[in-house]
Amino acid sequence: MARDRKPFRRRTRAVAVLVAAMTVGGTAATELPASAASLPKGHDVSSHQKNVDWPDAKAKGARFVYVKATESVDYASPYFTQQYDGARHAGIIRGAYHFALPDKSSGRAQAAYFVSHGGGWKADGWTLPPALDIEYNPYDKKHGCYGIRKASMVGWIRSFSDEVRRLTGRRPVIYTTAHWWNTCTGGSRAFAADHALWIARHGSADAGALPSGWSFWTFWQYGNSGSLPGDQNLFNGSQARLRKFARGY
């Protein structure tokens, strides 16, 4: 997933390669996996993509998109409105995501900041539930789990989720990798029953092993480049099911 704050851009090339390897296996997939060719195609964007040509994305097959809204409690994407509203006007189902920095503030504080800066939800069939992007620390390679113990990380995620639900009525979708989840939460199974999984795994014919607790994925980010702006994703169901998921069914 794209991080777009300036400190991240100043990484050396070597560190950037290492972080990419930790995050999604270090391999970009530019073509749709053949095993999932019939599933609704989507993408996710951040300020890296700037002003997206949404009619063009729709023409190229985009059926949904997640748009970065916030990071920690001190960053809101300056392109969020153009991207979020532009997708809707083009007829693309869209949702907002928050990039978590659990070492900076509480889960509750980051959830509140996220919802107040675009991370809301309504049952209109066009709005995906808010999403939490939680993965290896891109700013400190020595502390991929943010220096937080496993049980405390589980508590941080629960605090974020509870506040998002209180403010929006929906549990957040959780974006992560199996490796990060099992390493940094100790393989917690506490969220699988009521949180949709957005799994990141690039350069593979399938989504691979899932984080502990989940038996299926809802979204799969299969590549960081392709025909659509930003990262490439799939929804695990029909277009009609995607619409129902957006409505909360």
Domain, as residue range, for 133: 6-247
Closest C-alpha to 87, from 230, 248, 196, 234: 230
Determine, yes or no, domain membership for 1. no
Is 140 known to be catalytic? no
Q: How many domains does the chain have?
A: 1
Catalytic residue among 4, 71, 133, 135: 135
The whole-number pLDDT of residue 142 equals 86
In a domain, 210, yes or no: yes
Q: Which two tokens stand for residue 105?
A: 């503030």
| Tens digits of residue pLDDT in 20-48 | 333 343 334 447 777 677 899 999 999 99
Active site residue 71: no
∠ CA 141-142-144, rounded to 5° = 65
Worst-scoring range by mean pLDDT, 29-38, 70-79, 141-150?
29-38
> Rounded to an integer, what is the distance from CA 47 to the centroid of its chain?
14
Q: How many residues does the chain have?
A: 249
What type of residue is 75? Y
Whether 190 is in a domain gets the answer yes
- Residues 107-135 pLDDT 10s: 999 999 999 999 999 999 999 999 999 99
Rounded distance, CA 129 to CA 196, Å?
9
What phi and psi values does residue 93 have, to the nearest 5 degrees?
-65, 130
Which pair of tokens denotes residue 65? 């998109």
- 139 domain-assigned: yes
Q: With respect to residue 132, please indicate whether it lies within any of the assigned structural domains.
A: yes
Q: What angle do CA 54, 205, 234 make, to 5 degrees?
A: 30
Task: Please give the Cα distance from 113 to 208 (Å, whole number).
Answer: 33
Q: What percent of the chain has pLDDT over 90?
A: 83
Q: Is 24 within the bounds of a domain?
A: yes
Picking from 234, 131, 139, 149, the residue whose alpha carbon sits closest to that of residue 186 is 149
CA distance 78 to 86: 14
Which domain CATH number covers 191? Answer: 3.20.20.80
Catalytic residue among 44, 71, 133, 231: 44
